[in-house]
């Protein structure tokens, strides 16, 4: 059976932490895994983390930035995104230098024209978290996590399956060689 439709995938990661100002620079990557083009309108929503401000949104050509009153950003593309098409967005969050806690950036992507349904929707959201210690004087940020990956359990199971097959093949060959 062949897959039809489109598959938008989003990943978010922290790319730089300024430990003095508690500013975190983020990268958001959207890809259409296909096999078909994703129809416009495509919306990438970045929700404002509590106790933080969002700033400096940069969108690639063909995208606009909306700023709803809740302090979030919405990157919008009215045209379709081709199969294997990608877009990278950047933005920053800033917390007060006295902020002590986790900064989690949550992102989601939606694309539809009302008649086409996305092939796989489990990869339409992601988040990443940074720990700030509120020192405001350097050394106050922890390394980012890898974000959430809905396919991690599947990838892990496949990797273990392949490893098991390789080990079984090696054991079989050793038995053949000793016989």
* DSSP state string for 72-115: -EEEEE-S-B-TT-EEEEEEEEEE-TT--EEEEEEEEEEE--SS
Q: Which residues have a Cβ under 8 Å from the Cβ of 33 and sit 6 or more positions away? A: 6, 7, 8, 9, 83, 84, 120
Among 117, 151, 110, smallest CA distance to 8 is for 110
Per-residue pLDDT of the chain (179 residues; tens, 9 = 90+): 455 688 899 999 999 888 888 899 999 999 999 888 888 889 899 998 888 889 999 999 999 999 999 989 999 999 999 999 999 999 999 988 788 888 888 888 887 655 556 777 788 888 888 888 766 544 444 444 444 445 555 566 666 777 777 778 777 777 777 77
Residue with tokens 């489109």: 6
Q: pTM, whole model, 2 decimals?
A: 0.70
Determine the Cα–Cα distance for residues 78 and 25; give it in Å rounded to an integer. Answer: 26
């Amino acid at each position: 059976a062949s897959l039809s439709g489109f598959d938008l995938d989003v990943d978010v990661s922290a790319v730089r932490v300024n430990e003095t100002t508690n500013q975190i620079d983020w990268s958001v990557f959207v890809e259409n895994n296909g096999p078909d083009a994703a129809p416009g309108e495509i919306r990438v929503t970045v929700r404002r983390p509590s106790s933080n401000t969002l700033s400096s949104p940069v969108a690639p050509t063909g995208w606009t930035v909306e700023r709803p009153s809740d302090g979030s950003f919405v990157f919008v593309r009215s045209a379709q995104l081709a199969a294997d098409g990608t877009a990278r967005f950047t933005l920053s969050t800033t917390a007060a230098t006295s902020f002590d806690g986790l900064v989690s950036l949550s992102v989601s992507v939606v694309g539809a024209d009302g008649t086409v349904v996305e092939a796989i929707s489990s990869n339409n959201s992601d988040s990443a978290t940074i720990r700030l210690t509120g020192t405001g004087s350097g050394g106050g940020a922890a390394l980012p996590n890898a974000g959430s990956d809905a396919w991690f359990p599947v990838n892990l199971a496949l990797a273990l399956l392949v490893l098991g097959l390789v080990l079984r093949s090696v054991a079989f060959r050793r038995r053949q060689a000793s016989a």
